[in-house]
Structure 1
């Protein structure tokens, strides 16, 4: 369960995370994206094409309760997370493309998230309070806009805000470990293996499919790594915030299981993937990348 204090703390952390995301952007970034939308189109297809489909398949073929299936769908329909930028940097990917894909998927998510959620939830006969989700998403765009204004007014303030936003996204995982998990230990022990499989598989399958998709389009390995990480690393804090502010009681706790477990395991999965990416040193790596920005 999530208490009133934790709800307030969660809301504050989400605000700062989204503020940092906005501080990483300038109007010029959107201008460049519109001039060369190829990479962003790939990212949007990966985020709202592949990931919701992966979530739908997992929810369909795994034997899980309706609340868990709903948690899988919500997690699968989230935009890219800010931690993907960190892993992209350490995996020697295209950081500029990563940041832009993350924010673009967040902005377009105001429209696309409710659409894909309603589409797949209807196919599974699940109820989605889409109005509450839309309101939450719109409100979360406010700190993004504030972050952009801060960046415009002062580059130094924008850089500090961006750093704290990214750092807090990682701290969020620690917060879950010391707060939510101990008090829900019995619930986690009773959770079925299928739920754990979905929580791990969502990110792992997303990264794999994203990478194969990018390579099939003959993108440079740096850009392929970026698309892979942006596809598989979803915004776990946003998913949890939507659930906390949309559902109540034991239902919210059950729905939250997959986003919480996903947020924990995606760090491990992404770390392993990053180590594999860093070891790649083929001739193709030395070529000038096909610029998507």
Structure 2
């Protein structure tokens, strides 16, 4: 699982990339400096030649295929959490410690595939698009998180949760969606790492500025937690990858599947915890326990949960749409527009869940990030499959921005 060099994709997009041509040299206008990016493990002398694919054992392909079903896992888990919340009680009772360890494991799996030397090499090859994408991530989403919470008049705890979600870095699930959408996958990968590292300062700072009017926000404690559960595991994994390459090579094929299952468990557990509270609300209590499941579902969606779902949908829609429009106005090529749109629109909802459960007394703060894990993946996957059948070729008259 590698791109043009030894930097490997992160656990959230486990497709067998060795057999997929990420770019189409005959249709996509690619600057000379970047034309060698799709090659495997080494740069080809003749950039006109397609990358040489390396085959993987069948069992590795099966693991990759299983891990690629992440949106299915969180969707099914969300349905189970609605119908039978007690399924996840064993994990919920151990929270927030269990949540922190789960996210730490996910980030460790990411670090095991990351070679810092190759990451910096990719960064230096396309600084303009990476910088633009990171700025878009930490301006578009936080702004709309605040605007939506004000416009819909969300309760204070839910507003804080939505803003916290909006201030989180890009999620690693965006990488697989970018691949499906025929976007710029290396750009998506580097943006994910950069926004994740920047989350140590930017997520707590922006949350305090935008959500501090609702409840007290301790930016320092948020920053320390982000460092502990995100940055430290990534750096540890990268260190292990460079120090014990043989051992890491043995466990790496299992990493993506374990990571997506852990992420699904984390999101669905928090969601089930809040479903119990929502079912005890006045609206739901007024519905007879013998009512049909459809009637009970309508009662739930017409109440507070329906408004929260709408707020999360609007937030991610704004990220996808404004991210794409801003990249298009700035003159980036179509594959880069798609990567930036997807990266901005898809958040690290697991981080939002952990920070919410660890630093805020109201459990409702964690509900928007938990819902996001389900809704975001459905929206992102749908967008990716739509773009999969739309030619990413640029118009001859479209202005283009090249990294220098």
Query: Shorter-chain TM-score: what band?
Result: 0.7 to 0.9
Q: What is the SS of the residue equivalent to 2:161?
A: helix
Deviation at 1:171, TM superposition (A): 2.1
Q: Distance in 1 between matches of 2:386 and 2:164?
A: 29
Which residue, 150, 166, 190 being the options, matches 1:100?
190
- Give me the TM-score of the superposition, normalised by structure 2: 0.65
- Give me the TM-score of the superposition, normalised by structure 1: 0.87
Q: Which residue of 2 aligns with 1:70?
A: 160
Q: Distance in 2 between matches of 1:98 and 1:170?
A: 18
Taking a change above 3 Å as real, the CA distance of residues 17 and 161 of structure 1, as seen in their structure-2 partners, is farther
Q: Which residue of 1 aligns with 2:142?
A: 52
Q: Which residue of 2 aligns with 1:167?
A: 257
Q: Which residue of 2 aligns with 1:110?
A: 200
Q: Distance in 1 between matches of 2:174 and 2:249?
A: 18
Q: Which residue of 2 aligns with 1:220?
A: 333
Q: Which residue of 1 aligns with 2:120?
A: 30
* Deviation readout 1:73-103 (Å, 9 max, x if unpaired): 1000000111111111121212211111001
Q: Which residue of 1 aligns with 2:220?
A: 131
5+ residue gaps, structure 2, are: 1-88, 279-299
Q: Distance in 2 between matches of 1:225 and 1:163?
A: 28
Q: Distance in 1 between matches of 2:160 and 2:375?
A: 19
- Alignment length, in residue pairs? 288
Taking a change above 3 Å as real, the CA distance of residues 178 and 80 of structure 1, as seen in their structure-2 partners, is closer
Q: Distance in 2 between matches of 1:46 and 1:171?
A: 29
Segment of structure 1 superposing worse, 57-66 or 151-160? 151-160
Deviation at 1:174, TM superposition (A): 3.6
What's the RMSD between the two structures over aligned residues? 2.8
Q: Which residue of 1 aligns with 2:314?
A: 201
Q: Distance in 2 between matches of 1:204 and 1:168?
A: 29
* Deviation readout 1:11-52 (Å, 9 max, x if unpaired): 232112111222332222124414532122112111111110
Which residue, 245, 248, 256 being the options, matches 2:366?
256
5+ residue gaps, structure 1, are: none
Alignment of 1:150 with 2:240, yes or no, is yes
More helix by proportion, 1 or 2? 1
Q: Distance in 2 between matches of 1:157 and 1:200?
A: 42
Segment of structure 1 superposing worse, 129-138 or 230-239? 129-138
Deviation at 1:173, TM superposition (A): 5.4
- Contact 1:18–1:165 (Cα < 8 Å) also in 2: no
Larger Rg: 1 or 2?
2
Determine which structure has greater relative contact order: mean sequence separation of CA pairs < 8 Å that are 6+ residues apart, divided by chain length: 1
